[in-house]
A and B are shown apart, each in its own frame.
Chain A
Amino acid sequence: MIGQSPLRTFIAHAVLILGILIVAFPIYYTFVASTHTLQTILKPPLPLLPGDQLLNNYSEALFGGIGRIGGVSVGRLLFNTTIMALGVAVGKIFISILSAYAIVFFRFPLRMAFFWLIFITLMLPVEVRILPTYKVMVDLGMIDTYAGLIIPLIASATATLLFRQFFMTIPGELVEAARVDGAGPWRFFFDILVPLSRTNIAALFVILFIYGWTQYLWPLLVTNSNDMNTIVIALRKMVSFADADTQWHLVMVTAMLAIVPPILVVVLMQRWFVRGLVESEK
């Protein structure tokens, strides 16, 4: 470390602490709000310390059902969102690792044409094709289903590209050694390629899970029933324009609960991710 003098250390820490405060205070405040009654929240100023309604508020939200979103419990919303985020993350990884495998390790007609097709879709934001996609989902009867939430988001050019770049760095000799060792395409994929890619898979999983978790536009379009809402949509629906109608304490609880799973994924996967980094051959 450069600069061990106390003043420098102090300034460095001061800047860091200030940064943390700026980032963390709104979250803390949300947490504080989630532990008070609606009356306390609506009567300013809001206390800076947590209140005594923690258990009440959280159990009401998780199990009781919230009126403004059709009596659906936050537990149900969390479940829906988890299914969607997991489906999107796993699906994207599954499809993109397979397509990258095909593009890098197999020779077939129009291989490069397919690669460029995938690549070009990178330049099209989801919003551009959202109406046709919606029409397709309606025709297939996938409105208000998990399949409808997940499948349209399941292809990922970015992840395909990432896996492709990684696969290109795998030495040809390794592929040939596996062939001589009697590993067919599937064996090679599962015994060698997937274990070597686990760092990439872990990193992508984190990113894609959060991507799936925070989806707004697509779930808004494809779900009509309150039962099928994701937590982000429900959160928006819970906030009414008339302040009096809004159950602010429950909104705060829902907001708190909505950030827990992504945080868990980051924290848990980070350990895995670092282990993968340490173990893999570079």
Chain B
Amino acid sequence: MATVDLKDVRKIYPSGVEAVKGVSIAIPDKELCVLVGPSGCGKSTLLRMIAGLETISAGTVAIDGKVVNAIGPTERDIAMVFQNYALYPHMKVYDNMAYGLRNRGTPKDEIDSRVRSTAKVLELSALLDRRPRELSGGQRQRVAMGRAIVRNPKVFLFDEPLSNLDAKLRGQMRIEIKNLQRSLGVTSVYVTHDQLEAMTLADILVVMNAGLVEQTGPPLDVYEKPASTFVASFIGAPPMNLLALTGASPSSVLADGTVIGLAPRLGKAVTLGFRPEDADITFAAEAPAGALALPATVEAVEPVGAESFLHCVAAGSRIVVRVSGRASAKPGDQLRVVARSEKLHWFDQAGKRVD
């Protein structure tokens, strides 16, 4: 129903702290954009600026092609789901959902039909007469969602909505949010620090760090081609293994002097990375040609069931290798970690990707 366009948005607090240092994102109609990053990266501030809860120090925020910098949250026609739900404790579920509509002067019978149909979608029909404190965490979460949906806004804003739920419920609600968002076709901005949530929900993934956007793109693109060492280590669990390179021909010598079986490829690269699932282990002395073969010592084995994670020490750094099924290695084993060269990622001095 609406696009959201951020152009060089900045937030400078009166104390001089610059929380958001120039962010530009274009979110197409009906898409779900996830802002992900560690705490303090400015993602929540950015969301609050889109909501109109925080003033915009510089740049513009446009909703549906209209710059909204100067107008308040009410007129922006957005709905927000808060981390702690922010339900009105003294109001029944019905009134919680109807409150926004009442304030906008919607006719009574329309409010009633909208609240009841939304409640039906969210399976809240039986709870309409309860008060928030009589609901479980998951139910409160639904009411918070319902309060947003019932208004039929141009944009949904989610501020870490699942962080107070237990793991199982979180997974369930994640799918529900995704389905709802898709079926309602409302442009959404979703803030989270959980990279799994970000990967599974996003149409567009925006990775933020220290007030700046590190990378924007479809989640799998971000996963496969991380633009920086920060993104590489933030997206993916366990994160990408990163090894520092030194020496005259930096691409081939690791920090501890180990020469790896790879020809120097890119002169600028100072960091080498590979994902745990892109690596394998071998006990063979001969390294396969054209692949990274890293002598490593197994420190610990984590069997998860369908897969196992081997925590190894190679060239003085800790690395993780994922092997499917049960691992054949055990702690203390000496082996080689092998990764095909097309699965390797190279990063330069500034941590930027080099291809």
| A195 proximal to B (CB < 8 A) | yes
Please measure, in the bound complex, the distance between the C-alpha atom of A121 and the C-alpha atom of B135, giving whole angstroms.
44
Residue of A nearest to B95 (CB): A191
Q: Say whether, besides A173-B84, A191-B99, A281-B133, A180 and B79 are in contact (CB < 8 Å).
A: yes
Among A180, A187, A280, find the residue whose CB has the most chain B CB atoms closer than 10 A: A180
Residue in contact with B83 in the complex, picked from A173, A191, A280, CB distance below 8 Å: A173
| A3 proximal to B (CB < 8 A) | no
Please measure, in the bound complex, the distance between the C-alpha atom of A208 and the C-alpha atom of B35, giving whole angstroms.
51
Secondary structure type dominating chain B contacts? loop
Residue in contact with B89 in the complex, picked from A176, A183, A280, CB distance below 8 Å: A280
Secondary structure type dominating chain A contacts? helix
| A182 proximal to B (CB < 8 A) | yes
Produce 1/0 per residue, A155-190, CB < 8 A to B. 000000000000000010110111111111001000
- In the complex, the answer to whether A176 meets B99 with C-beta atoms within 8 Å is no
Please measure, in the bound complex, the distance between the C-alpha atom of A195 and the C-alpha atom of B95, giving whole angstroms.
13
State the Cβ distance, A42 to closest chain B Cβ, in Å: 58
Residue in contact with B82 in the complex, picked from A173, A187, A191, A279, CB distance below 8 Å: A173
Q: Say whether, besides A179-B72, A180-B100, A183-B103, A281 and B86 are in contact (CB < 8 Å).
A: no
B100: A residues at CB distance < 8 A: 180-182
Please measure, in the bound complex, the distance between the C-alpha atom of A183 and the C-alpha atom of B104, giving whole angstroms.
9
| A192 proximal to B (CB < 8 A) | yes
B72: A residues at CB distance < 8 A: 179
B104: A residues at CB distance < 8 A: 182
Q: Say whether, besides A180-B100, A181-B99, A281-B133, A173 and B88 are in contact (CB < 8 Å).
A: no
State the Cβ distance, B61 to closest chain A Cβ, in Å: 15
State the Cβ distance, A216 to closest chain B Cβ, in Å: 39
| B67 proximal to A (CB < 8 A) | no
- In the complex, the answer to whether A187 meets B80 with C-beta atoms within 8 Å is no
- In the complex, the answer to whether A174 meets B88 with C-beta atoms within 8 Å is yes
- In the complex, the answer to whether A171 meets B84 with C-beta atoms within 8 Å is yes
Please measure, in the bound complex, the distance between the C-alpha atom of A201 and the C-alpha atom of B150, giving whole angstroms.
33
| B53 proximal to A (CB < 8 A) | yes
Q: Say whether, besides A174-B88, A180-B80, A281 and B99 are in contact (CB < 8 Å).
A: no
| A196 proximal to B (CB < 8 A) | yes
| B90 proximal to A (CB < 8 A) | yes
State the Cβ distance, A96 to closest chain B Cβ, in Å: 21
| B51 proximal to A (CB < 8 A) | yes
B151: A residues at CB distance < 8 A: 181
Please measure, in the bound complex, the distance between the C-alpha atom of A280 and the C-alpha atom of B132, giving whole angstroms.
10
Residue in contact with B80 in the complex, picked from A177, A182, A192, CB distance below 8 Å: A177
Q: Say whether, besides A195-B90, A196-B89, A280-B89, A176 and B82 are in contact (CB < 8 Å).
A: yes
- In the complex, the answer to whether A180 meets B73 with C-beta atoms within 8 Å is yes
| B321 proximal to A (CB < 8 A) | no
A178: B residues at CB distance < 8 A: 88
| B74 proximal to A (CB < 8 A) | yes
Please measure, in the bound complex, the distance between the C-alpha atom of A179 and the C-alpha atom of B103, giving whole angstroms.
10
Residue in contact with A281 in the complex, picked from B74, B83, B90, CB distance below 8 Å: B90
A183: B residues at CB distance < 8 A: 99, 103
A184: B residues at CB distance < 8 A: 74
| B323 proximal to A (CB < 8 A) | no
Q: Say whether, besides A281-B132, A281-B133, A179 and B73 are in contact (CB < 8 Å).
A: yes
- In the complex, the answer to whether B80 meets A176 with C-beta atoms within 8 Å is yes
- In the complex, the answer to whether A176 meets B53 with C-beta atoms within 8 Å is yes
- In the complex, the answer to whether B86 meets A173 with C-beta atoms within 8 Å is yes
| B78 proximal to A (CB < 8 A) | yes
State the Cβ distance, A193 to closest chain B Cβ, in Å: 10
Among A177, A187, A192, A195, find the residue whose CB has the most chain B CB atoms closer than 10 A: A177
List chain A positions with a Cβ less than 8 A from chain B. 171, 173-174, 176-184, 187, 191-192, 195-196, 279-281
- Other A-B contacts than A178-B88, A182-B103, A192-B90, 10 sampled, CB-CB below 8 A, are A171-B84, A176-B73, A176-B82, A179-B53, A180-B51, A180-B79, A181-B74, A181-B100, A182-B74, A279-B131
**10 A-B pairs whose Cβ atoms sit less than 8 Å apart in the complex:** A174-B88, A176-B51, A177-B82, A179-B53, A180-B78, A182-B104, A187-B103, A192-B90, A196-B89, A279-B90
